[in-house]
Structure 1
Amino acid sequence: MLRELNDTQIEALLKSELIGRIGCQSDGMVYIVPVNYVYDGTNIYCHSAKGMKIDMMRKNPEICFEVENIRDVTNWQTVITWGRFEEITDMAEKQKVLQQLTDRITPYIIDDSVTREHGFADGESDIGTSIELIMYKIIIHKKTGRFEDR
């Protein structure tokens, strides 16, 4: 039976998952893409190289973010948030967010060679040099959650 997650369950799911999906729209096209993220209880923080997702969010910063935990087709939880994309330009804030993302994701990286492929610099001095790393946050306006547990 489909039911609603309460606020505590919504917060727990947002904090526990590693990968979510951003839905963005501009110029009549909708784009959904998975991203690594960190949730601090207020905002969602992500990073990306420049590309379609960043271009679209710069044109239309109103986005949707979804995260789920699926055990099987009748045992799952999902949260959908709506918010506003905001690029982080302050270098100190960028470094702080990068460190939070790195700390969150590092336990799941099985091979050090994938860090560059996933947009992580080898060191703080590499940010914005060899990799055009765009850090951004999603300022959440609304959250909802559903689950099924049989």
Structure 2
Amino acid sequence: MRRADREITDKKAIEEFIAKEKVIRIGFYDCGEIYIVPVNYGYSSDNGEYIFFFHGAKAGRKYELAKSIPYVGFEIDGEYSLIEADTGCGHSIKFQSLIGNGKLSIINDKDEKVSALNCIMMQATGSAEWNYESDILEKTAVFKLKVGKMTCKSK
């Protein structure tokens, strides 16, 4: 990180930020192109190791890339506020961001899939107890992103 003075290393502050936000952007490399897709997410953390979960269809570009090129980048941002000035170029914006990379896998085990979907629902709704119909579970791809490296900063 170029601006070490802006890096957030406090695990509690990072956890609070991740818990508060709702959208993670996943960046895939696809034959010379970068494909970025915003998705809602859930997560788990254990001793500073993070896993993000998101879902989608068992078809399409995201699904195929997850199967064939599972190494991805990701980004979460939020906590925006405008810093005003007397000139246009003097204005700035304050924000917080989390950037990293990791490896995706697709969850096939039914119990693990339900647990991951409950993490996603917890992030979105504040409740982690949900029932899922078997046919919907079968049609839904649930992705597990194990974080390899991640940094958090505030401006």
Both proteins in one fold, TM over 0.5: yes
8 Å contact kept, 1:22–1:33: yes
**CA-CA distance at 1:83 after TM superposition:** 0.2
What corresponds to 2:25 in structure 1? 21
SS at match of 1:123: coil
2-structure distance, mates of 1:93, 1:138:
14
2-structure distance, mates of 1:16, 1:70:
10
CA deviation vs aligned residue, 1:76-97 (integer Å, no higher than 9, x gap): 1000021000110101111111
Q: CA RMSD in A?
A: 2.2
What corresponds to 1:140 in structure 2? 147
* Structure 1, unpaired ranges of 5+: 108-120
The higher relative CO (CA closer than 8 Å, separation ≥ 6) is in 1
8 Å contact kept, 2:66–2:106: no
8 Å contact kept, 1:95–1:124: no
Residue pairs, 1:74-93, within 5 angstroms: 74-93=93-112
Supply the AA of the counterpart residue of 1:138.
Answer: L
Tell me how many residue pairs correspond in the alignment: 133
SS at match of 2:6: strand
Q: Which among 34, 37, 48 is matched to residue 38 of structure 2?
A: 34
What corresponds to 1:4 in structure 2? 7
The structure 1 segments of at least 4 consecutive aligned residues displaced by more than 4 Å after TM superposition are none
Q: Which among 125, 128, 131 is matched to residue 134 of structure 2?
A: 125
- Alpha-carbon distance change, 47 to 138 in structure 1, aligned in 2, over 3 angstroms: same
Higher Rg: 2
- Alpha-carbon distance change, 96 to 122 in structure 1, aligned in 2, over 3 angstroms: closer
What corresponds to 2:55 in structure 1? 47
* Structure 2, unpaired ranges of 5+: 83-92
2-structure distance, mates of 1:143, 1:104:
20
CA deviation vs aligned residue, 1:61-110 (integer Å, no higher than 9, x gap): 11011001142242210000210001101011111111222233236xxx
1-structure distance, mates of 2:70, 2:102:
8
Supply the AA of the counterpart residue of 1:5.
Answer: I
Supply the AA of the counterpart residue of 1:44.
Answer: F
- Alignment identity in percent? 31
CA deviation vs aligned residue, 1:22-46 (integer Å, no higher than 9, x gap): 0011222210010010111120111
2-structure distance, mates of 1:65, 1:57:
13
- Alpha-carbon distance change, 122 to 92 in structure 1, aligned in 2, over 3 angstroms: closer
**CA-CA distance at 1:122 after TM superposition:** 7.7
